[in-house]
Amino acid sequence: MFENLNQNVALKVDDLVILNKELVEDYIAKNKELFEEITFTDHLNYHMKYGYNKNHNPVKIAFLDNEIQRIIIKTKNFSQKRVRIDLMYDGSAYHGFQIQANGKTIQGELSKLISEVNNKEILVQGASRTDALVHAKMQVIHFDDESNLSKEEWLRFLNNRLPKDIFITNIELMHPLFHSRYDVYEKEYVYKIKLGDYDPFLLNYAWNIEYLDFVRLNDQIKKIIGTHDFTSFAKGIKGDNVRTIYKSGYKLDDDILEIHITGNGFLRYMVRLIIAHAINYATKKIDIDILEILNEKSRRHTKNLAPAEGLYLNKIIY
Protein backbone atom coordinates (compact mmCIF):
# COMPACT_ATOMS: atom_id res chain seq x y z
CA MET A 1 0.00 0.00 0.00
CA PHE A 2 3.02 2.30 0.25
CA GLU A 3 3.46 2.66 -3.51
CA ASN A 4 1.11 5.65 -3.63
CA LEU A 5 3.15 8.23 -1.70
CA ASN A 6 2.59 11.95 -2.04
CA GLN A 7 5.64 13.85 -3.32
CA ASN A 8 5.79 15.73 0.00
CA VAL A 9 5.11 12.73 2.22
CA ALA A 10 6.40 12.83 5.80
CA LEU A 11 7.38 9.81 7.89
CA LYS A 12 7.81 9.80 11.65
CA VAL A 13 9.10 6.75 13.51
CA ASP A 14 9.38 7.56 17.21
CA ASP A 15 11.59 10.69 17.23
CA LEU A 16 12.95 10.19 13.70
CA VAL A 17 11.37 12.45 11.06
CA ILE A 18 11.97 11.93 7.32
CA LEU A 19 10.73 14.30 4.62
CA ASN A 20 10.79 13.80 0.84
CA LYS A 21 9.30 10.89 -1.11
CA GLU A 22 12.60 9.33 -2.19
CA LEU A 23 14.02 9.31 1.35
CA VAL A 24 10.80 7.83 2.73
CA GLU A 25 10.79 5.11 0.06
CA ASP A 26 14.41 4.29 0.93
CA TYR A 27 13.59 4.02 4.66
CA ILE A 28 10.60 1.73 3.95
CA ALA A 29 12.77 -0.53 1.78
CA LYS A 30 15.41 -0.84 4.52
CA ASN A 31 12.95 -1.33 7.39
CA LYS A 32 10.31 -3.58 5.84
CA GLU A 33 9.29 -5.20 9.13
CA LEU A 34 7.75 -1.92 10.30
CA PHE A 35 5.50 -1.68 7.25
CA GLU A 36 4.41 -5.29 6.78
CA GLU A 37 1.14 -6.97 7.75
CA ILE A 38 -0.61 -3.83 8.95
CA THR A 39 -4.07 -4.56 10.34
CA PHE A 40 -6.38 -1.56 10.49
CA THR A 41 -8.81 -0.97 13.34
CA ASP A 42 -12.45 0.10 13.17
CA HIS A 43 -11.48 3.70 13.96
CA LEU A 44 -11.43 4.80 10.33
CA ASN A 45 -12.30 8.28 9.17
CA TYR A 46 -12.38 10.37 6.00
CA HIS A 47 -8.64 10.83 5.59
CA MET A 48 -6.94 8.72 8.26
CA LYS A 49 -6.32 5.04 8.92
CA TYR A 50 -5.20 3.61 12.26
CA GLY A 51 -3.71 0.17 12.74
CA TYR A 52 -0.90 -2.07 14.00
CA ASN A 53 2.00 -3.69 12.17
CA LYS A 54 3.12 -7.30 12.67
CA ASN A 55 5.17 -6.22 15.72
CA HIS A 56 1.99 -4.69 17.20
CA ASN A 57 3.44 -1.19 16.87
CA PRO A 58 0.69 1.43 16.37
CA VAL A 59 0.56 2.93 12.87
CA LYS A 60 -1.31 5.99 11.57
CA ILE A 61 -1.56 6.87 7.89
CA ALA A 62 -2.98 10.17 6.60
CA PHE A 63 -4.18 10.62 3.03
CA LEU A 64 -4.45 13.60 0.70
CA ASP A 65 -6.33 13.09 -2.58
CA ASN A 66 -5.86 9.30 -2.29
CA GLU A 67 -2.10 9.64 -1.82
CA ILE A 68 -0.30 8.94 1.45
CA GLN A 69 0.64 12.27 3.00
CA ARG A 70 1.88 11.25 6.45
CA ILE A 71 2.97 8.02 8.17
CA ILE A 72 3.47 7.78 11.93
CA ILE A 73 4.77 4.68 13.73
CA LYS A 74 5.54 4.27 17.41
CA THR A 75 7.79 1.40 18.49
CA LYS A 76 8.09 2.48 22.13
CA ASN A 77 6.53 4.73 24.78
CA PHE A 78 3.05 4.71 23.27
CA SER A 79 -0.18 4.97 25.21
CA GLN A 80 -1.99 1.82 26.24
CA LYS A 81 -5.24 3.70 26.87
CA ARG A 82 -5.95 6.83 24.87
CA VAL A 83 -9.33 8.33 25.75
CA ARG A 84 -11.48 10.58 23.54
CA ILE A 85 -14.06 12.82 25.21
CA ASP A 86 -16.81 14.70 23.38
CA LEU A 87 -18.25 17.64 25.30
CA MET A 88 -20.28 20.83 25.06
CA TYR A 89 -19.99 24.01 27.07
CA ASP A 90 -21.31 27.48 27.69
CA GLY A 91 -18.21 29.66 27.37
CA SER A 92 -19.64 32.70 29.15
CA ALA A 93 -17.66 32.21 32.37
CA TYR A 94 -14.39 31.10 30.78
CA HIS A 95 -11.24 32.72 29.43
CA GLY A 96 -11.33 30.37 26.46
CA PHE A 97 -10.42 26.71 26.04
CA GLN A 98 -6.63 26.91 26.43
CA ILE A 99 -5.21 26.85 29.94
CA GLN A 100 -3.89 30.17 31.27
CA ALA A 101 -1.94 31.30 34.32
CA ASN A 102 -4.82 33.55 35.37
CA GLY A 103 -8.43 32.81 34.60
CA LYS A 104 -10.72 29.78 34.45
CA THR A 105 -10.53 27.75 31.21
CA ILE A 106 -12.18 24.62 29.79
CA GLN A 107 -8.85 22.83 29.39
CA GLY A 108 -7.93 23.74 32.94
CA GLU A 109 -11.16 22.39 34.47
CA LEU A 110 -10.87 19.09 32.60
CA SER A 111 -7.14 18.65 33.22
CA LYS A 112 -7.57 19.26 36.95
CA LEU A 113 -10.06 16.43 37.42
CA ILE A 114 -8.31 13.98 35.08
CA SER A 115 -4.99 14.66 36.83
CA GLU A 116 -6.67 14.03 40.20
CA VAL A 117 -7.79 10.55 39.15
CA ASN A 118 -4.44 9.64 37.56
CA ASN A 119 -2.45 11.04 40.49
CA LYS A 120 -0.16 12.87 38.04
CA GLU A 121 -0.33 16.06 36.01
CA ILE A 122 -2.16 15.56 32.71
CA LEU A 123 -2.91 18.32 30.20
CA VAL A 124 -5.76 17.30 27.92
CA GLN A 125 -5.50 18.17 24.21
CA GLY A 126 -8.42 19.73 22.35
CA ALA A 127 -9.63 19.84 18.77
CA SER A 128 -10.07 23.62 18.80
CA ARG A 129 -8.79 26.39 21.07
CA THR A 130 -11.95 28.46 21.36
CA ASP A 131 -11.54 32.06 22.55
CA ALA A 132 -12.89 33.63 25.72
CA LEU A 133 -16.71 33.70 25.83
CA VAL A 134 -17.04 31.38 22.78
CA HIS A 135 -19.34 28.37 23.19
CA ALA A 136 -19.14 24.79 21.94
CA LYS A 137 -21.97 22.49 20.91
CA MET A 138 -19.24 19.93 20.20
CA GLN A 139 -15.63 19.95 21.35
CA VAL A 140 -13.31 16.91 21.36
CA ILE A 141 -10.38 16.26 23.67
CA HIS A 142 -8.05 13.34 24.27
CA PHE A 143 -5.67 12.20 27.00
CA ASP A 144 -3.64 9.14 27.97
CA ASP A 145 -5.24 7.41 30.93
CA GLU A 146 -3.35 5.36 33.52
CA SER A 147 -6.33 4.82 35.80
CA ASN A 148 -8.57 1.77 36.07
CA LEU A 149 -11.75 3.71 35.32
CA SER A 150 -13.94 2.45 32.50
CA LYS A 151 -15.36 4.91 30.00
CA GLU A 152 -18.73 4.67 31.79
CA GLU A 153 -17.11 5.48 35.12
CA TRP A 154 -15.24 8.43 33.56
CA LEU A 155 -18.52 9.75 32.16
CA ARG A 156 -20.25 9.63 35.55
CA PHE A 157 -17.28 11.06 37.43
CA LEU A 158 -16.70 14.02 35.12
CA ASN A 159 -20.35 15.00 34.80
CA ASN A 160 -20.72 14.86 38.59
CA ARG A 161 -17.61 16.95 39.29
CA LEU A 162 -17.37 19.42 36.40
CA PRO A 163 -19.08 22.83 36.59
CA LYS A 164 -22.65 22.64 35.28
CA ASP A 165 -21.80 24.75 32.22
CA ILE A 166 -19.59 21.90 30.91
CA PHE A 167 -21.21 18.59 29.94
CA ILE A 168 -19.62 15.38 28.65
CA THR A 169 -21.70 13.76 25.90
CA ASN A 170 -19.56 10.75 24.92
CA ILE A 171 -16.36 8.91 25.85
CA GLU A 172 -14.49 6.40 23.67
CA LEU A 173 -11.26 4.43 23.91
CA MET A 174 -9.15 5.22 20.86
CA HIS A 175 -6.12 4.04 18.92
CA PRO A 176 -2.85 5.14 20.65
CA LEU A 177 -2.04 7.59 17.82
CA PHE A 178 -5.43 9.30 17.61
CA HIS A 179 -5.05 13.06 18.06
CA SER A 180 -8.09 15.25 18.69
CA ARG A 181 -6.56 18.28 16.93
CA TYR A 182 -4.28 16.96 14.19
CA ASP A 183 -6.66 14.27 12.92
CA VAL A 184 -9.63 16.59 12.28
CA TYR A 185 -11.11 16.36 8.79
CA GLU A 186 -13.46 19.31 9.07
CA LYS A 187 -14.94 21.72 11.62
CA GLU A 188 -18.16 23.68 11.55
CA TYR A 189 -18.64 27.00 13.31
CA VAL A 190 -22.02 28.70 13.75
CA TYR A 191 -22.46 32.39 14.43
CA LYS A 192 -25.79 33.51 15.92
CA ILE A 193 -27.35 36.93 15.34
CA LYS A 194 -30.49 38.25 17.00
CA LEU A 195 -32.39 40.44 14.52
CA GLY A 196 -34.65 43.31 15.48
CA ASP A 197 -35.34 44.38 19.05
CA TYR A 198 -32.68 43.86 21.68
CA ASP A 199 -33.13 40.82 23.94
CA PRO A 200 -31.12 40.97 27.21
CA PHE A 201 -31.52 37.20 27.69
CA LEU A 202 -29.42 36.63 24.55
CA LEU A 203 -26.68 39.04 25.61
CA ASN A 204 -24.16 36.21 26.10
CA TYR A 205 -25.35 34.06 23.20
CA ALA A 206 -25.91 36.22 20.09
CA TRP A 207 -25.00 39.52 18.42
CA ASN A 208 -27.93 41.91 18.20
CA ILE A 209 -28.34 43.54 14.75
CA GLU A 210 -31.49 45.52 13.96
CA TYR A 211 -31.54 45.00 10.18
CA LEU A 212 -29.43 43.65 7.35
CA ASP A 213 -29.66 42.95 3.62
CA PHE A 214 -29.77 39.16 3.13
CA VAL A 215 -28.78 39.35 -0.54
CA ARG A 216 -25.61 41.24 0.35
CA LEU A 217 -24.91 38.88 3.27
CA ASN A 218 -25.29 35.77 1.14
CA ASP A 219 -23.08 37.24 -1.60
CA GLN A 220 -20.16 37.68 0.80
CA ILE A 221 -20.35 34.44 2.77
CA LYS A 222 -20.68 32.32 -0.39
CA LYS A 223 -17.53 33.83 -1.89
CA ILE A 224 -15.29 32.35 0.82
CA ILE A 225 -16.11 28.79 -0.32
CA GLY A 226 -13.00 27.18 -1.78
CA THR A 227 -9.29 27.38 -0.98
CA HIS A 228 -7.94 30.83 -0.12
CA ASP A 229 -5.11 32.55 1.69
CA PHE A 230 -6.91 33.99 4.75
CA THR A 231 -4.11 36.32 5.90
CA SER A 232 -6.60 39.21 5.77
CA PHE A 233 -8.82 37.36 8.25
CA ALA A 234 -6.33 36.17 10.86
CA LYS A 235 -4.54 37.61 13.86
CA GLY A 236 -0.82 37.22 14.43
CA ILE A 237 -0.37 34.31 12.03
CA LYS A 238 2.74 33.95 9.94
CA GLY A 239 3.38 31.08 7.56
CA ASP A 240 0.72 28.93 5.93
CA ASN A 241 -2.56 30.85 6.07
CA VAL A 242 -4.24 28.82 3.31
CA ARG A 243 -7.45 27.11 4.38
CA THR A 244 -10.31 25.43 2.51
CA ILE A 245 -13.94 26.33 3.21
CA TYR A 246 -16.29 23.52 2.18
CA LYS A 247 -19.62 25.14 2.98
CA SER A 248 -20.85 28.59 3.97
CA GLY A 249 -24.43 29.79 4.27
CA TYR A 250 -27.13 30.95 6.61
CA LYS A 251 -30.37 29.78 8.23
CA LEU A 252 -33.13 32.04 9.51
CA ASP A 253 -35.50 30.92 12.26
CA ASP A 254 -37.89 33.73 13.19
CA ASP A 255 -35.55 36.49 14.44
CA ILE A 256 -32.46 34.28 14.95
CA LEU A 257 -29.99 34.23 12.07
CA GLU A 258 -27.36 31.47 12.04
CA ILE A 259 -24.33 31.70 9.76
CA HIS A 260 -22.70 28.29 9.24
CA ILE A 261 -19.09 27.96 8.03
CA THR A 262 -17.43 24.57 7.52
CA GLY A 263 -13.76 24.12 6.64
CA ASN A 264 -10.65 22.01 7.07
CA GLY A 265 -9.26 24.42 9.65
CA PHE A 266 -9.49 27.98 10.92
CA LEU A 267 -6.93 30.63 11.87
CA ARG A 268 -7.16 32.65 15.07
CA TYR A 269 -10.13 35.05 14.94
CA MET A 270 -10.80 33.99 11.33
CA VAL A 271 -14.52 33.30 11.72
CA ARG A 272 -15.20 36.42 13.81
CA LEU A 273 -13.35 38.63 11.31
CA ILE A 274 -15.28 37.12 8.40
CA ILE A 275 -18.59 37.61 10.23
CA ALA A 276 -17.74 41.22 11.12
CA HIS A 277 -16.99 41.99 7.47
CA ALA A 278 -20.11 40.19 6.19
CA ILE A 279 -22.38 42.05 8.64
CA ASN A 280 -20.79 45.42 7.88
CA TYR A 281 -21.32 44.72 4.17
CA ALA A 282 -24.89 43.48 4.73
CA THR A 283 -25.77 46.59 6.77
CA LYS A 284 -24.24 48.77 4.02
CA LYS A 285 -21.56 50.25 6.25
CA ILE A 286 -18.91 49.21 3.72
CA ASP A 287 -18.87 48.31 0.02
CA ILE A 288 -15.50 46.58 -0.44
CA ASP A 289 -15.93 42.99 -1.63
CA ILE A 290 -14.58 40.10 0.43
CA LEU A 291 -12.59 38.71 -2.52
CA GLU A 292 -10.79 42.02 -2.86
CA ILE A 293 -9.90 41.88 0.83
CA LEU A 294 -8.67 38.29 0.52
CA ASN A 295 -6.44 39.24 -2.42
CA GLU A 296 -4.90 42.12 -0.46
CA LYS A 297 -3.53 39.73 2.20
CA SER A 298 -3.58 42.47 4.82
CA ARG A 299 -5.68 43.53 7.81
CA ARG A 300 -6.24 47.03 6.42
CA HIS A 301 -9.99 46.43 5.99
CA THR A 302 -10.55 43.84 8.75
CA LYS A 303 -9.90 45.60 12.03
CA ASN A 304 -13.25 44.76 13.67
CA LEU A 305 -14.15 41.48 15.36
CA ALA A 306 -17.67 40.15 15.71
CA PRO A 307 -18.49 39.67 19.43
CA ALA A 308 -17.24 36.38 20.82
CA GLU A 309 -20.56 35.60 22.51
CA GLY A 310 -22.29 34.78 19.21
CA LEU A 311 -19.76 32.14 18.11
CA TYR A 312 -20.25 28.38 18.57
CA LEU A 313 -17.95 25.50 17.70
CA ASN A 314 -20.74 23.35 16.32
CA LYS A 315 -19.37 20.14 14.83
CA ILE A 316 -16.09 18.24 14.41
CA ILE A 317 -15.67 15.42 11.88
CA TYR A 318 -12.77 12.96 11.77
Distance of CA 248 to the CA centre of its chain: 17
* Co-location of 212 and 257 in the same domain: yes
Domain count, the chain: 3
Question: With pLDDT > 70 as the criterion, what percentage of the chain qualifies?
Answer: 99
- Domain boundary (174, 195, 220) is at 174
* Co-location of 225 and 162 in the same domain: no
* Co-location of 157 and 203 in the same domain: no
- 54 — alpha (psi -120 to 50), left (phi > 0) or beta? alpha
In degrees, rounded to 5, the angle at the alpha carbon of residue 103 between the alpha carbons of residues 186 and 114 is 65
Q: Which residue segment(s) compose the domain that 279 sits in?
A: 186-317
Tens digit of pLDDT for each residue in 211-227? 999 999 999 999 999 99
48 assigned to some structural domain = yes
* Co-location of 49 and 92 in the same domain: no
Cβ-based burial of 312 (10 A; exposed 0-12, middle 13-18, buried ≥19): buried
- Domain boundary (73, 99, 119) is at 73
- Rounded to two decimals, the pTM is 0.94
Asked whether residue 43 carries a pLDDT value surpassing 70, the answer given is no
> Which CATH number characterizes residue 272's domain?
3.30.70.660
* Co-location of 93 and 140 in the same domain: yes
181 assigned to some structural domain = no
The answer to whether 61 and 49 have CB atoms below 8 angstroms apart is yes
What pLDDT sits at residue 237?
Answer: 67
> Which CATH number characterizes residue 47's domain?
3.10.450.50
What amino acid positions are annotated as catalytic residues? 131
* Co-location of 265 and 166 in the same domain: no
Query: What is the chain's alpha carbon radius of gyration, rounded to the nearest angstrom?
Result: 22
The stretch 34-39 carries a mean pLDDT of 96
Tens digit of pLDDT for each residue in 238-285? 789 999 999 999 999 999 999 999 999 999 999 999 999 999 999 999
* Co-location of 210 and 310 in the same domain: yes
Distance CA 94, CA 138 (A): 16
Question: With pLDDT > 90 as the criterion, what percentage of the chain qualifies?
Answer: 94
What pLDDT sits at residue 46?
Answer: 75
Tens digit of pLDDT for each residue in 82-120? 999 999 999 999 999 999 988 999 999 999 999 999 999
Rounded to the nearest 10 degrees, what angle do helices 270-282 and 214-222 cross at? Answer: 150
* Co-location of 197 and 308 in the same domain: yes
